[in-house]
Structure 1
Amino acid sequence: MGTFALAVILLIITPGPGVLTTAGFGAAYGFKPSLKYVLGLFIGTNLVLLAVITGVAAVVLSVPWLRTLLLIASIGYLLYLAARIAFAGSKIAFMEAKQPPGVFGGVALQAINPKAYVVNTSLISGFSYAPDNLTFEIITKVIIMNAIWIPIHLAWLWAGTVLHELNLSHAAQRAINIGMALAMLAVVGLAAWTATT
């Protein structure tokens, strides 16, 4: 179980769309306004987890055209979120985001987040520690994953919020937002490259 918990920490803490948008929205809007989005991510990641456990994810992703459609939707939505972060509070932006996406935005991201499926599939199908009692293993894995997921995402939100609360100049805040958005774009590029290789 210890090896599994360590794997959860390492897989969840690494930058992906969920943690990057969490930190980005924390930096752009602050802690409390971004909590609804994090709640949506939490609901979404557990829906993905349920889809992985029940095999629905494997069936859906085994259809090539549907997998491609989901990848395109994922990339499009991640680009949209990157723009929301980059242009939050920017008067020169083509879109000025007054507030972060709410619960639905978080759920939607996780539903099309390639990392969510990869991480959940790896953790559920690997790291077996109770092969004689699969029900116990899956239930404890879900509990451990959620017990680690929550503080990690709140820590990323807090880290972004610290930047928000520094009362940086408008130009510095915009530079941070753009940096967060560029990190998101790097994740988008990596997801697209991985899917085509």
Structure 2
Amino acid sequence: MIEFLVAVLFLLITPGPGVLTTAGIGAAYGFRAGLGFIWGLMLGGFINMMIIISGLAALVLAIPSLRAVLLIASLCYLLYLAWRIASAGAKIGFAPANTPLGFKNGLMLQFINPKAYVVGTTLFSGFVFLPDNPVLEIVLKLVFFNLIWMPVHLVWLAFGAKIGSLNLSHRRQRAINVAMAFALIVVVCIALWTSL
């Protein structure tokens, strides 16, 4: 189980569309404005995991042409997001919306978030610690996952809110942009590696 918890932590702290959007809301509108979005992400993530656990995701992804289209679209989206972050110039590389994204947007993002499928599949198929009681194992994985997931997303929201309140130099803003873009490219590589 320790390996599962370590994997959850490292998979969740890697920036993906969910945490970057969360940080963007924090940067643009403050901490409180992002809480509804986080609740939507959490429910969407739970539904996403149920799709993975039930095998529905495996059925859909078993169709080679559909799998290829979904993989290419997801990877292109992540690369595009990394490019937008790295090329943001003097602005911090979060992409805030014109109005705060709320619960509904957080919920819907999890269905198109390729990282959510990679993380869910990796965690629920790669770490078996109760082979004689798979139902209890799934429940424990869901509980422990969310006990780590929620603080990680709250930290990203707080990070975005803090960044939004600072007056950083152009060089520091650019360094943050490049570091976040690099993290997204790592997510792309993980997605590609796990899909092969």
- TM-score class, shorter: 0.7 to 0.9
Deviation at 1:24, TM superposition (A): 2.0
Q: Which amino acid aligns with 2:99?
A: Q
Change (3 A) 1:127 1:83: closer
Q: Deviations over 1:85-121 (max 9, x none)?
A: 99xxxxxxxx994313222222222111111111111
User: Is the counterpart of residue 36 in structure 1 residue 32 in structure 2?
Assistant: no
Identify which range, 174-183 or 155-164, moves more after superposition.
Answer: 174-183
Q: Which amino acid aligns with 2:153?
A: H
Please list every run of at least 4 consecutive aligned residues from structure 1 whose deviation after the TM superposition is greater than 3 angstroms: 68-86, 174-197
Name the residue aligned to 1:49.
49
8 Å contact kept, 1:33–1:99: no
Equivalenced residue count is 191
Name the residue aligned to 1:127.
127
Alignment TM-score, normalising by the size of structure 1: 0.75
In 2: Cα distance, 1:180 partner to 1:109 partner: 23
Name the residue aligned to 2:14.
14
Name the residue aligned to 2:151.
151
Q: Which amino acid aligns with 2:56?
A: V
Deviation at 1:67, TM superposition (A): 2.6
Identify which range, 99-108 or 185-194, moves more after superposition.
Answer: 185-194
Change (3 A) 1:111 1:127: same
Percent identical among aligned pairs is: 48
Name the residue aligned to 2:161.
161
In 2: Cα distance, 1:165 partner to 1:153 partner: 18
In 2: Cα distance, 1:84 partner to 1:105 partner: 20
Change (3 A) 1:194 1:121: closer
Alignment TM-score, normalising by the size of structure 2: 0.75
8 Å contact kept, 1:25–1:85: no
In 2: Cα distance, 1:33 partner to 1:18 partner: 15
Superposition RMSD in Å: 3.5
Gaps in structure 1 of 5+ consecutive residues: 87-94
Change (3 A) 1:79 1:121: closer
